[in-house]
Amino acid sequence: MPYGNHSATELNKSVTINTLRKLKGSGEKFVVVALYDAPMAAMAQKCGVEAVLVGDSLGMTVLGYQSTIPVTMDHMIYHVEAVARGNQKSLIIGDLPFMTYATPEDALRNAARLMQAGAQMVKLEGGAWLAETITMLAERGIPVCAHLGLTPQSVNKFGGFRVQGRDPANADKIHADAQTLANAGADLLVLECVPSALAKRITADIPIPTIGIGAGLDNDAQVLVINDILGLTEQPPKFSKNFLTEAGDIPGAMKKYVADVKSGQFPGPEHVFE
């Protein structure tokens, strides 16, 4: 079946970067879930999730830390390997954790480890300073997902988990960074906790697909952490939604999330920042 008709049904072929580019071009939303183990990865594949993110959010959702800072490469490799064993069709994106890409050489070495563990793309947090690193990775065959807005690895610099880009100067900087990183060779861009108008502007102005989380409805895709989808987060963020209460079971919650993203029902006005 074509990609335009698979909402809440199993993917019929492997998703690639080209798949996601075509979806952006056609205006069809795609779906991303951050998850960490083989069973959930297998379920995501069956529910039509185009990309799974093995996020360093596992430091908080799985390991019990207060931030993502303590997460190591060994943690990431362990969970990327598990997800890769459970999912052969969704695109697998792996986070590079705190201080593992401080220099282009560090990024290249650690990205290679994640790719060998089963990731098909690596994600980095940061602005224009990452342009050289992204170009180096892209030239060496490593796809990159960039990440702007609220970048959790910088939580201590931000002074907490705060919305970014609300003032015009900061919004213009995030917009400029997005263009710089796309030009450097990034293949995807996560926009986290930025005003919906800024995310809409960036999505329209750059050629690569954008993935929103707390960034409004106008991104090319949405991402949520599996814990939030299933109502397992004690203090859920504003941008999240518990789909389990409506669906009644775990597969149903995943399918409902996929269907609501595809149809534009999620995120709703209560999940975005203006």
Number of structural domains in the chain: 1
pTM: 0.94
Instruction: Say what percent of the chain tops pLDDT 90.
Output: 84
User: Mean pLDDT throughout 94-112?
Assistant: 97
Q: Identify the pLDDT of residue 232.
A: 94
Among the listed ranges 113-117, 136-140, 148-152, which one has the minimum average pLDDT value?
148-152
Residue 128 pLDDT more than 80?
yes
Residue 40 structural domain: 3-271
| Choice among 28, 139, 192, 234 that is catalytic | 192
Among the listed ranges 137-141, 151-155, 204-208, which one has the minimum average pLDDT value?
151-155
pLDDT tens-digit readout, 81-94: 999 999 999 999 99
Per the structure block, which two tokens stand in for 211?
């993935």
Q: Identify the pLDDT of residue 151.
A: 84
Among the listed ranges 60-74, 106-120, 227-241, 255-269, which one has the minimum average pLDDT value?
227-241
In this structure, the dihedral spanned by the alpha carbons of residues 231, 234, 237 and 242, taken in order and rounded to 10 degrees, is: 10
Residue 6 pLDDT more than 90?
no
The CATH code of the domain that includes 192 is 3.20.20.60
Quote the CA–CA distance of 214 and 222 in Å, as a whole number: 9
192 is catalytic: yes
Residue 272 pLDDT more than 90?
no
3-state SS of the chain is: CCHHHCCCCCCCCCCCHHHHHHHHHHCCCEEEEECCCHHHHHHHHHCCCCEEEECCCHHHHCCCCCCCCCCCHHHHHHHHHHHHHHCCCCEEEEECCCCCCCCHHHHHHHHHHHHHHCCCEEEEECCHHHHHHHHHHHHCCCCEEEEEECCHHHHHHHCCCCCCCCCHHHHHHHHHHHHHHHHHCCCEEEEECCCHHHHHHHHHHCCCCEEEECCCCCCCEEEEEHHHHCCCCCCCCCCCCCCHHHHCCHHHHHHHHHHHHHHCCCCCHHHCCC
Place of tokens 């695109």: 91
Average of per-residue pLDDT values in the chain = 93
pLDDT band with cut points at 50, 70 and 90 for residue 234:
confident
